[in-house]
């Protein structure tokens, strides 16, 4: 019955196992020591999006984790090639194109642009190849022809189907048997020999985009493109194949069937599947004030109406109303979203809701403050530090010091790497990053680096060493790789107004008018601005608060000027107006109040 001649993976052709790294393999359902097909080289293939609509946050889980996987493997000394495919031929794309009266390609281009900008915002910049199905037709057709020649596929009325009964191993990834396959076989079921057979090539229907083939005009089935593209770019057997857990069956099962029947050798050494996102059970989200007791069960389907941007509970998928990734990034910033995704192990289900991202953001601020502290103390830029880029160099650098503080940093580094070695446990690794931040802050405090210790060259050198280790490790996670995005035009004005506010408060403090000083600080709080008094100056940060902080600050300044005038403190009132004038802002006192304009 079966003609499969496949052999088991051949370890003798693989590299020696990495001494410490283990990866969970969906195929074996256990963690395995990491070996590669070719010594020192790693090929990674990740199933990318079908670009029929804008991306949602669920599409970012795979890219973010594999971005870290590549960074880590390169850090460990491997030469990594990472491929993410784009499916740009598909029923849904055709449907969307027809609805909008544009071509399938235009739909694809639009959504690829959206996908790419989302990747960029999350700092995913390690992808080497973005093959598209429409650009690989020749490879796809070759593979189908080869499968027909070998007897694993058959033509049927312009379609071509894969014959699962010829594949003895069919079902090994998703652990199911052909006999258990049920259903009517979906569209084209009557043309299949077995309900589990799946299309390799679909005959064109009138008006559909199509390509010429030995079986007539048509287009490829969903699964074949991945077999063809991975073969083209990574070879017949490659190292890691990733994708969402929801792709295990049928997509990856069918990829294995196609590739292994065609090549008579294993397709992939490690199947690595990321967990899926689930919408959180708390309702809090923009525009929806509904509160629900924490122990009250979510009701399926709630909040999925037209106006709802996100599902209240349940799986994150387009059909449930997930979406608006670009808006989410606009609100929260890409770094927060990346950090949020990395807090949890990639194989876990992630409960997604915006308050959780904000909570993650609070943790992130600990690091951003430490980076600013470094700049404040040393005058140097954290982002310009040049840490070791390989595990080997890092090992040598961290072994150098005998100082107890540097020793404890070395322990953090080791635990961090141990976590990454254990199936890329980014959550555990981030814990060590926090530990390292605490050690570093404590060192600053103990050595009084913001005071008398500022001139202690040895202490500053240790401080720099600690930050360098932080950079070495955070680079692996793709965090703090570059300064946060530049401010927008309105933020730009805000940044010019704040020194004036801070100066006014400083003056009040100098003359011990703490009531006035505290009034200013209290007024900033609802705007989302926090002040931090340092030796010599005051720093401010903004998070959350009102949307138009600039306008709120202007209102505050106008009020402060009015207060000063009422108290006959014309010097302060004039200072405010003059400095605003210098910033290009004109105040106009009218009967109903003071108005401001930008010139």
Partner RNA sequence: GGCGCCGUAGCCAAGUGGCUAAGGCAUCGGAUUGCAAAUCCGACAUCCCCGGUUCGAAUCCGGGCGGCGCCUCCA
If residue 257 lies in a helix (H) or strand (E), which one and from where to where?
helix 253-263
Q: List the beta bridge partners of residue 538.
A: 533
Q: Which of residues 110, 142, 208, 246 is near RNA by CB under 7 A? A: 246
- Select 42 or 93, whichever has its Cβ closest to RNA: 93
Alpha carbon 334 to chain centroid, angstroms: 7
Q: Under the criterion CB under 7 A, does residue 29 sit at the interface with RNA?
A: yes
Q: List the beta bridge partners of residue 273.
A: 243
User: Rounded to 5 degrees, what angle do the CA atoms 334, 337, 340 make?
Assistant: 150
Q: Are strands 159-162 and 79-84 parallel, antiparallel or unpaired?
A: unpaired
Q: What gap in Å lies between CA 86 and CA 132, rounded to an integer? A: 5
Q: Under the criterion CB under 7 A, does residue 342 sit at the interface with RNA?
A: no
- Per CB under 7 A, contacts with RNA among 68-87 are 87
- Select 39 or 186, whichever has its Cβ closest to RNA: 186
Q: Under the criterion CB under 7 A, does residue 316 sit at the interface with RNA?
A: yes
405 and 441 in contact (C-beta within 8 Å)? no
Question: Of 448, 427, 444, 439, which Cα lies nearest the Cα of 469?
Answer: 439
HEC letters along 133-167: HHHCHHHHHHHHHHHHHCCCEEEECCEEEECHHHC
Q: What gap in Å lies between CA 359 and CA 543, rounded to an integer? A: 12
Q: Which of residues 43, 123, 244, 394 is near RNA by CB under 7 A? A: 244
Q: What is the DSSP string of 450-463?
A: TTGGGG-HHHHHHH
Q: Under the criterion CB under 7 A, does residue 344 sit at the interface with RNA?
A: yes
- Per CB under 7 A, contacts with RNA among 350-369 are 350-351, 356, 359-360, 362-363, 365-366, 369
Could you tell me which stretch among 310-318, 377-385, 560-568, 570-578 binds RNA (CB under 7 A)? 310-318
Question: Of 96, 55, 110, 71, which Cα lies nearest the Cα of 390?
Answer: 71
Q: Which of residues 132, 166, 278, 413 is near RNA by CB under 7 A? A: 278
Q: Under the criterion CB under 7 A, does residue 349 sit at the interface with RNA?
A: yes
Q: Which is it for the CA torsion 170, 173, 178, 184, positive or negative?
A: negative
- Select 537 or 547, whichever has its Cβ closest to RNA: 537
Q: Under the criterion CB under 7 A, does residue 521 sit at the interface with RNA?
A: yes
Q: Under the criterion CB under 7 A, does residue 122 sit at the interface with RNA?
A: no
In the stretch 403-442, what mask flags binding to RNA with x, by CB under 7 A? ----------------x--xx-x-xx-xx--xx-xx--xx
Closest contact distance (angstroms) between CB of 38 and RNA is: 26
Q: Which of residues 343, 454, 496, 542 is near RNA by CB under 7 A? A: 343
Could you tell me which stretch among 105-113, 126-134, 276-284, 558-566 binds RNA (CB under 7 A)? 276-284
204 and 219 in contact (C-beta within 8 Å)? yes
- Per CB under 7 A, contacts with RNA among 169-228 are 174-176, 180-183, 186, 222
594 and 562 in contact (C-beta within 8 Å)? yes
Q: What gap in Å lies between CA 261 and CA 255, rounded to an integer? A: 10
Could you tell me which stretch among 138-146, 257-265, 302-310, 530-538 binds RNA (CB under 7 A)? 530-538
- Per CB under 7 A, contacts with RNA among 438-467 are 438, 441-442, 444-445
Q: Under the criterion CB under 7 A, does residue 550 sit at the interface with RNA?
A: no
Q: Under the criterion CB under 7 A, does residue 58 sit at the interface with RNA?
A: yes
- Per CB under 7 A, contacts with RNA among 481-500 are none
Q: Under the criterion CB under 7 A, does residue 95 sit at the interface with RNA?
A: no
Question: Of 475, 73, 134, which Cα lies nearest the Cα of 272?
Answer: 73
Closest contact distance (angstroms) between CB of 209 and RNA is: 17
235 and 266 in contact (C-beta within 8 Å)? no
Q: Which of residues 217, 245, 304, 309 is near RNA by CB under 7 A? A: 245
Give the three-state DSSP class for 593. Answer: strand
- Select 514 or 570, whichever has its Cβ closest to RNA: 514
């Amino acid at each position: 019955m079966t003609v499969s001649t496949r052999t088991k993976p051949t370890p003798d052709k693989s590299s020696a196992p990495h001494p410490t790294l283990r990866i969970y393999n969906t195929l074996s359902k256990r963690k395995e020591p990491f070996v590669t097909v070719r010594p020192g080289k790693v090929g990674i293939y990740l199933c990318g999006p079908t670009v029929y609509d804008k991306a949602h946050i669920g599409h970012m889980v795979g890219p973010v984790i594999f971005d870290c996987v590549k960074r880590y493997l390169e850090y460990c000394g491997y030469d990594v090639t990472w491929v993410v495919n784009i499916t740009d031929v598909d029923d849904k794309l055709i449907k969307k194109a027809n609805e909008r009266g544009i071509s399938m390609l235009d739909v694809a281009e639009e959504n690829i642009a959206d996908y790419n900008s989302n990747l960029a915002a999350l700092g995913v910049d390690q992808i080497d190849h973005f093959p598209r199905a429409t650009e690989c037709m020749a490879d796809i057709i070759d593979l189908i022809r080869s499968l027909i020649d070998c007897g694993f596929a058959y033509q049927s009325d312009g379609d071509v189907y894969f014959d699962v009964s010829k594949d003895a191993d069919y079902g090994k990834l998703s652990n199911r048997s052909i006999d258990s396959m049920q259903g009517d076989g979906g569209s084209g079921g009557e043309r299949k020999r077995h309900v589990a057979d799946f299309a390799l090539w679909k005959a064109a229907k009138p008006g559909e985009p199509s390509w010429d083939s030995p079986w007539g005009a048509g287009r490829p089935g969903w699964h074949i493109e991945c077999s063809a593209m991975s073969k083209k770019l990574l070879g017949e057997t490659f190292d890691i194949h990733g994708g969402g857990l929801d792709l295990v069956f049928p997509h990856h099962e069918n990829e294995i069937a196609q590739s292994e029947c065609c090549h008579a050798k294993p397709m992939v050494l490690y199947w690595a599947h990321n967990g899926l996102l689930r919408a959180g059970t708390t309702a809090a989200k923009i525009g929806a004030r509904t509160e629900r007791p924490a122990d009250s069960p979510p009701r399926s389907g709630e909040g999925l109406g037209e106006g709802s941007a996100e599902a209240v509970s349940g799986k994150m998928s387009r059909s449930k109303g997930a979406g608006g990734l670009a808006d989410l990034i606009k609100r929260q910033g890409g770094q927060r979203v990346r950090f949020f995704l990395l807090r949890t192990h990639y194989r876990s289900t992630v409960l997604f809701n915006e308050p959780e991202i904000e909570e993650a953001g609070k943790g992130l601020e600990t690091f951003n403050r430490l980076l600013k502290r470094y700049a404040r103390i040393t005058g140097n830029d954290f982002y310009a530090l040049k840490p070791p880029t390989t595990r080997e160099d890092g090992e040598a650098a961290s072994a150098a010091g005998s100082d107890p503080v540097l020793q404890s940093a070395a322990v953090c580094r080791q635990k961090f790497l141990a976590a990454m070695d254990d199936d890329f446990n980014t959550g555990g690794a981030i814990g060590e990053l926090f530990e390292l931040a605490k050690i570093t802050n404590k060192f600053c405090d103990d050595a009084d680096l913001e005071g008398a210790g500022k001139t202690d060259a040895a202490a500053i050198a240790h401080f720099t060493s600690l930050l360098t280790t932080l950079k070495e490790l955070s680079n692996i996670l793709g965090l703090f790789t570059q300064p946060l995005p530049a401010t927008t035009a309105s933020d730009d004005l805000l940044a010019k107004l704040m020194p004036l506010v801070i100066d006014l408060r400083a003056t009040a403090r100098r003359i011990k008018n703490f009531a006035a000083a505290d009034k200013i600080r209290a007024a900033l709080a609802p705007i989302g601005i926090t002040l931090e008094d340092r030796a010599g100056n005051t720093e401010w940060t903004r998070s959350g608060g009102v949307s138009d902080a600039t306008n709120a600050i202007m209102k505050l300044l106008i009020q402060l000027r009015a207060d000063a005038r009422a108290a006959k403190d014309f010097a302060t009132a004039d200072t405010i107006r003059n400095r605003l004038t210098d910033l290009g802002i004109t105040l106009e006192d009218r009967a109903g109040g003071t108005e401001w304009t930008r010139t």
